[in-house]
Amino acid sequence: MSKAWQQRLADARAHRQQTDRWRTRQVAKSNTLDFAGNDYLGLAQDPRVSEAQAAGARRYGAGAGASHLVSGHLEAHDVLEEALARWTGRERALLFSTGYMANLGVLQALADRHTAIFQDRLNHASLIDGAALSGARSRRFHHRDAIDLESLLARSECAHKLVVSDGVFSMDGDVADIAALVEVSQQHSAWLMIDDAHGVGVLGDNGSGCVGSSWNSAEVPILVGTLGKALGTAGAFVAGDAALIDHLIQFSRSYIYTTAQPPAIAAATLTALEIVQSEPEHRTNLNTNIVYFRREALRVGLPLTTSVTPIQPLILGDEARTLHWAVQLRQKGVQVGAIRPPTVAKGEARLRITLSARHQEGDIDRLLEALAACQREEVACHANA
């Protein structure tokens, strides 16, 4: 092995040791309070969803056994796709095995080197990777800045333009300005793709997300949602006109060349979706928890952002400080995400705190107490230094 390769592996190893230590701690969780996951409505723990999954496995078996285009597309997938299309007010929906694969598959199938893709700077990694895979010319616009986007679009001479944004930004919790994106995209005859991974189930009147029933497919032609977050299961869907879905079925490589989502997961997701649509109280509980957490966190002087979604980052800046806080919290029985570069920009390391409808007020109090204790320890440390 050459020296250069040895060095590369050694660098990766040093980085991995840090990550592994952190991961081991996570696996060891027992009665820890989870403020790190994306199970915003608590549906991953809902016995009706688990039972639907068990019943699905008894009926269909443990796995799909093949890709969708061979023999892996079963009735449970079909029924779920139809329900997702109705929910989001789209003609059709198409299931993917993960959100990462959906984003890769959409961008690779729709864009090529004759396409210009315009992405919000804070878009999810899967959108950045999908654009790279497509071979399109990629530009990034300033976060939530429609004026910057408009100036990039105005300068582009590409015939095919595609604007891409997260719906709810995964590390910041703020929501894209869909109205502005629709307007600027239409002015420049660009297609608009919104990845509403963290919005579906949580936002919108019927939980259909920040796009769902509010914006039709002439306005937002490509809508992606994931199932492993508020819906509590796993997988993802793309919703849009029949022509879009037909195109993806023909050309989307991460749809074609992979085993279909286990049908039991599709069955569980259908039950989760029925709960989302018929029991708005979970969204009400979630919103009550968000308001309570924000009010109390501001009262004790924690550095909150303006996010009003379940994603409530505390930006601590320094990587070591963020990791230290997360470890301290873990020792106090509270788990939060410790998000560091390259996931976020240098100097913007943060605790990613997420709230769920399942949290009780007492759970949030425990989180707040633990955070306040970290703050006090830090102040004492500075005083002694």
Question: Residue 166: beta bridge partners?
Answer: 195
User: Could you confirm whether 170 is annotated as catalytic?
Assistant: yes
Catalytic residue among 68, 198, 282, 359: 198
Residue 332 bears catalytic tag: no
**Annotated active-site residue in 126, 170, 185, 254:** 170
Binding-site residue set for pyridoxal 5'-phosphate: 99-100, 170, 198, 226
| Binding status of residue 233 toward ligand PMP by CB under 6 A | no
Closest residue to bound ligand PMP by CB: 99
Kindly state whether residue 172 participates in binding ligand PMP, applying the rule CB under 6 A: no
Distance CA 171, CA 380 (A): 29
Least distance from C-beta 100 to ligand PMP, angstroms? 4
Question: Of 364, 371, 368, which Cα lies nearest the Cα of 328?
Answer: 371
Numbered residues of the known binding site? 23, 99-100, 124, 170, 198, 226, 343
Q: In this chain, which stretch among 16-24, 68-76, 104-112, 195-203 interacts with ligand PMP, using CB under 6 A?
A: 195-203
268 neighbors 77 (Cβ within 8 angstroms):
no
Least distance (Å) between residue 80 CB and ligand PMP:
15
Instruction: Supply the minimum distance, in Å, between the C-beta of residue 282 and ligand PMP.
Output: 20
Window 132-171: contact mask with ligand PMP (x via CB under 6 A): ----------------------------------x---x-
Calculate the alpha carbon distances from 264 to 64, 168, 210, 334 in Å: 9, 28, 28, 32
Indicate whether 356 belongs to the interface with ligand PMP (CB under 6 A): no
Binding mask 211-230 for ligand PMP (x = CB under 6 A): ---------------x-x--
Among 35, 60, 87, 100, binds ligand PMP (CB under 6 A): 100
Q: At 62, is the secondary structure helix, strand, or coil?
A: coil
Nearest to 233 by CA among 204, 274, 195, 194: 274
Q: Does 340 bind ligand PMP (CB under 6 A)?
A: no
Integer Cα distance of 150 and 107 in angstroms: 21
Q: DSSP 3-state assignment of 112?
A: coil
Of the pair 124, 150, the CB lying nearest ligand PMP is at 124
| The one segment of 72-80, 99-107, 184-192, 355-363 that binds ligand PMP by CB under 6 A | 99-107
Instruction: Exactly one of 68, 77, 161, 229 is catalytic; name it.
Output: 229
Q: Is residue 307 part of the contact set for ligand PMP (CB under 6 A)?
A: no
On whether the CB atoms of residues 77 and 227 are closer than 8 A, the answer is no
Put the strands of the sheet holding 311-317 in their side by side order: 311-317, 349-354, 337-339
What is the phi-psi region of residue 162: left when phi exceeds 0, alpha when psi lies from -120 to 50, beta otherwise?
Answer: beta
Distance CA 202, CA 210 (A): 9
Q: Exposed e or buried b for every residue in 18-32, given b needs 16+ CB within 10 A? A: eeeeeeeeeeeeeeb
Q: 229 catalytic, yes or no?
A: yes
- What are the phi and psi torsion angles at 134 (to 5°)? -70, -20
* Helix-helix angle 361-384:319-331, to 10 degrees: 130
Return binding residues for substrate. 23, 124, 343
- Residue from 41, 236, 275, 353 that binds ligand PMP (CB under 6 A)? 236
Cβ pair 334, 354 in contact under 8 A: no
Q: Does 124 bind ligand PMP (CB under 6 A)?
A: yes
Residue with smaller CB distance to ligand PMP, 166 or 348: 166
Q: Binding of ligand PMP at residue 197 (CB under 6 A)? A: yes
Q: How many residues bind ligand PMP (CB under 6 A)?
A: 14
Q: Kindly list the residues in this chain that would bind ligand PMP in the complex (CB under 6 A).
A: 98-100, 103, 124, 126, 166, 170, 195, 197-198, 226, 228, 236
Active site residues: 170, 198, 229
